[in-house]
Structure 1
């Protein structure tokens, strides 16, 4: 996949649903009920992090049994995890930061890479190679909507998916920016609701997120 195709595919993924749940699966039994609750609320694109032992299996099982969902892998830290995510069937890959290894792997990846950045210098590492879509992380810590407005001047062709510390109350601050393609977070699937199996609340929070 060329980087021009990388950009087009990411834009396509987030054209209709501009909210990206960032999920860490702590119990295998939660995989399908959680995904179904988000889907019932209108969310069709998910990022499942590799922070837990169930991340890769959740990606593989959902891609096989919930083909209507687009499931990506998040918190990919190195080449080994990158390949494992591809093997599991991830439709896109998200990293928390930039390394030469990951940016190089993304050049020939069959699925799009959304590399994480926190500074203009990190952005420029990817920009030099042709990347034009990035994850801003941790968004609330590194400047939030204000830093994205600042980036719009020197980087007019770049768009972002900010994640990290974003609550439902702050989504509108980001989603209205011209250089934001989607907003990621876990506010629509709070840990306490998942642990309690309160799937109806998660569906309702998902609906509210899309309506904001």
Structure 2
């Protein structure tokens, strides 16, 4: 978990990706890397997620890659076999968490209230996803949680250029997840230049805020 936390803190912003074609995986990864964002959370909301991760890992072994929207132990196994560095789930499922921990795979489960934070802590977790961030009370709710619990967070869900600084200013926030620089419609259309432009803007904003 320490290495994962260090890498999350280093990157500050993790692009959350829904990819519909394995053929788009390597071009997308190249655009991210070339524009200063060598990381990705590839969500298992599409059928080709595992194959996309495999393609990214083979082409760019150094890339920091997570699997998102992991709902079952079986999906976790697919992600692990594909070569991910960490796993992210939208909610707190003790069965999935235990499975990942037993496999030695870092997992960042989603929580949005005190009871879920305590359940996660009971299983030894100290890095959690605050999701869905904005609908769950945003910065104010997160500040309330961090005032009580000694855990780190990765807010995701409604995070964008207009509010990301408010999240990153919270000491317990390691990084944020975001989708705005990698819209699925642009990936499907192969508009790599436009994605690159959005990534550049995001990276410049994060670097300016450091």
Q: What residue number does 1:3 align with? A: none
Matched-pair contact (CA < 8 Å) for 1:21–1:189: yes
Aligned length: 205
* Aligned-CA RMSD value: 1.4
Q: What residue number does 2:93 align with? A: 99
Task: Please give the per-residue CA displacement for 1:84-117, whole angstroms capped at 9, x wherever unaligned.
Answer: 1111111110011111202212332332111111
Q: 1:21 aligns with which of 15, 18, 23?
A: 15
Q: What residue number does 1:140 align with? A: 134
1:209 correspondence with 2:209? no
Q: What residue number does 1:76 align with? A: 70
Q: 2:113 aligns with which of 97, 116, 119?
A: 119
Structure 1 residue 196: Cα displacement: 3.0
Matched-pair contact (CA < 8 Å) for 2:42–2:68: yes
TM-score normalised by length of structure 2: 0.92
Q: 2:27 aligns with which of 29, 33, 36?
A: 33
TM-score normalised by length of structure 1: 0.91
Q: Structure 1: any 5+ residue segments left out of the alignment?
A: 1-5
Structure 1 residue 59: Cα displacement: 0.8
Task: Please give the per-residue CA displacement for 1:6-26, whole angstroms capped at 9, x wherever unaligned.
Answer: 2x0221221321100010111
Alignment partners' CA distance in 1, 2:134 and 2:103: 30
More divergent stretch after superposition (104-113 vs 145-154):
104-113
Matched-pair contact (CA < 8 Å) for 2:32–2:39: no
Structure 1 residue 208: Cα displacement: 1.9
* 1:30 to 1:173, Cα distance in 2 relative to 1, 3 A: same
SS state of the match for residue 115, structure 1? strand
Q: What residue number does 1:153 align with? A: 147
Structure 1 residue 207: Cα displacement: 2.1
Task: Please give the per-residue CA displacement for 1:140-196, whole angstroms capped at 9, x wherever unaligned.
Answer: 1111111111112111x2111011122222211211111110010111112332233
More divergent stretch after superposition (190-199 vs 145-154):
190-199
Alignment partners' CA distance in 1, 2:103 and 2:162: 35
Structure 1 residue 68: Cα displacement: 2.4
Alignment partners' CA distance in 2, 1:147 and 1:28: 37
